[in-house]
Structure 1
Amino acid sequence: MRRLQERFPWCATVAHAPAAARFDDGVAYAQRVRAARDDGEIIDAFLAHVREGEGASEAERSLIREVLDTRALSEAQA
């Protein structure tokens, strides 16, 4: 906030106020991360956390898997 006010002196306050109430299934973000078996599941847990309970779509899962596989291949070849 301090940096915003330095850049924009007329800025009084910034607040995150989502239109809908946060989805709560009783499972904490840290629990989701600990339960994840691979990087793809960690990313899905993060998306569900920041998207009001909505994890990755099928298309996003496919893209995530492709990126992770490419990274793993690159690291194996290094």
Structure 2
Amino acid sequence: MVRTQNEIIKQGYDALIKSLGVADTIRFMQYFHPGKGDYTKEHHQWLDEKTLPNVLEELQALAAEDSHQYEEIIE
């Protein structure tokens, strides 16, 4: 059965209320907002400056900084 977006949103709210209660659901929801601005336009301001070699270099540096990030095995 295909559900509408509104049905899924309602089910999500119901699950949050059941799990957290009304007050904590409201507190949880306050952390989320639709945001503002134009992500596509803004990300081009910094992304267009990067080259693939630069990105790979940054990824390698991050991996070197946190070499234990995948030690935990999730089953």
- Provide the TM-score with structure 2 as the length reference: 0.27
- Provide the TM-score with structure 1 as the length reference: 0.27
In terms of fraction of residues, the more helix-rich structure is 2
- Ranked by relative contact order (alpha carbons within 8 Å, sequence separation 6 or more), the top structure is 1
